[in-house]
């Protein structure tokens, strides 16, 4: 696997927004300023609650096929590789990791079998688009923690994807979950969300390394990031952290991650979270406390690292 110098671009962007001039200009800026060679796109699927069986990917909250195809062609024209990662969210705001159902079918209750049927349709829709547009990687979802023990169903999903997409397939598990997925042999690339505390990288990499070596598969962090908020680098997975702006704390977190991972030859890349589809004025970026890296010290850390690779 070629090393992935990736950035997640405009995650969950809604319909008709990838067409906008400002969105294309933002991708131009990402390519020029960061040294990234891969853009990760995250089409949005929505279910009403964690116990809903149907995933909707035709609403205004999901980018249209036509604009996604056009944007992928534009990214390819700039020499970027494209990874497509269709991801489910809940309309009521519950984190997708909590999507779950009874282990055995119960009359009048929502069921795993119905949910996985809908999930496979969602994934295969975008896998066909990935094949049509020549995407270099397909990531079959993200952080579906409470579903991952359903091994038979996940193997079927991956098999269904392979029927319509000929490129490499990955799946993005959540932080601390790498050792719990028992079907890594079904994918080509193991990936996870690298939101680990700034001082905990060595211990977590030791744990992940055992998984990677046991399956003898390539690995990369399909997501990784930290907010530029005071205290975020201690719990970078917690987007509810409240504090004053701390862009240097965000940069320190990226330095720590790169430093720890560089010692591990099996870490095959990163999908930095994230780069906005509409960029704020550079004069405002240091006061923005989100995960975005544009115009912050973290951007320089990433650029320096990516240019070295």
What is 214-274 written as a DSSP string? HHT--EEEEEE---SBTTGGGSTT-TT----B-HHHHHHHHHHHHHHHHT-TTEEEEEEEE
Distance CA 118, CA 58 (A): 13
Pick out the chain residues at pLDDT < 70: none
* pLDDT recorded at residue 82: 98
CA 142 to CA 42: how far, in whole Å? 10
Does 162 sit behind a cis peptide bond, omega within 30 degrees of 0 on the bond before it? no
pTM above 0.85, yes or no: yes
Of 11, 88, 69, nearest to 42 by C-alpha is 11
Task: Identify the structural domains of the chain with CATH numbers, from first to last.
Answer: 4-308 (3.20.20.80)
pLDDT digits (tens, 9 = 90+) for 91-110: 999 999 999 999 999 999 99
Q: Is the dihedral of CA 294, 300, 303, 309 positive or negative?
A: negative
| Cα torsion through 135, 138, 114, 111, rounded to 10 | -150
d(CA 220, CA 215): 14
Token code pair at residue 247: 């862009």
Nearest-angstrom CA–CA distance, 194 and 200:
11
What does the pLDDT read at residue 159? 98
The pLDDT assigned to 284 comes to: 87
Strand partners, 224: 194, 272
Give the bridge partners for 172, in sequence order.
142, 191
Residue 133: per-residue pLDDT: 98
pLDDT (0 to 100) of residue 283: 84
């Amino acid at each position: 696997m070629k090393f992935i110098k990736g950035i997640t671009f405009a995650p969950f962007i809604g319909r008709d927004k990838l067409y906008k001039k400002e969105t294309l200009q933002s991708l131009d800026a990402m390519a020029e300023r960061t040294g990234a060679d891969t853009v990760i796109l995250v089409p949005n699927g929505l279910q009403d609650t964690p116990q809903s069986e149907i995933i909707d990917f035709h609403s205004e909250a999901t980018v249209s096929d036509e604009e996604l195809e056009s944007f992928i062609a534009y990214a390819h024209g700039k020499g970027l590789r494209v990874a497509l990662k269709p991801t489910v969210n809940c309309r009521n705001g519950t984190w997708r990791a909590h999507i779950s159902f009874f282990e055995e079918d119960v009359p009048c209750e929502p069921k795993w079998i119905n949910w996985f049927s809908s999930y496979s349709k969602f994934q295969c829709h975008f896998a066909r688009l990935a094949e049509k547009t020549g995407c270099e990687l397909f990531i079959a979802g993200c952080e579906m923690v409470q579903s991952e023990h359903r091994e038979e169903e996940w193997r079927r999903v991956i098999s269904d994807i392979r029927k319509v997409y000929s490129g490499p397939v990955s799946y993005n598990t959540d932080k601390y979950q790498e050792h719990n997925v028992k079907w890594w042999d079904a994918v080509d690339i193991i990936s996870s969300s690298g939101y680990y505390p700034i001082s905990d990288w060595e211990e977590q990499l030791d744990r992940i390394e055992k998984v990677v070596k046991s399956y003898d598969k390539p690995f990369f962090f399909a997501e990784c990031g930290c907010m530029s908020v005071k205290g975020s680098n201690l719990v970078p997975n917690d987007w509810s952290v409240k504090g004053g702006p701390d862009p240097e704390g965000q940069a320190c977190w990226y330095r720590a991650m790169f430093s720890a991972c560089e010692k591990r030859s099996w870490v095959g890349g990163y999908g930095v979270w994230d780069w906005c589809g509409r960029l704020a004025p550079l004069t405002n970026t240091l006061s923005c406390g989100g995960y975005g890296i544009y115009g912050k010290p973290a951007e320089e850390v990433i650029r320096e690292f990516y240019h070295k690779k």
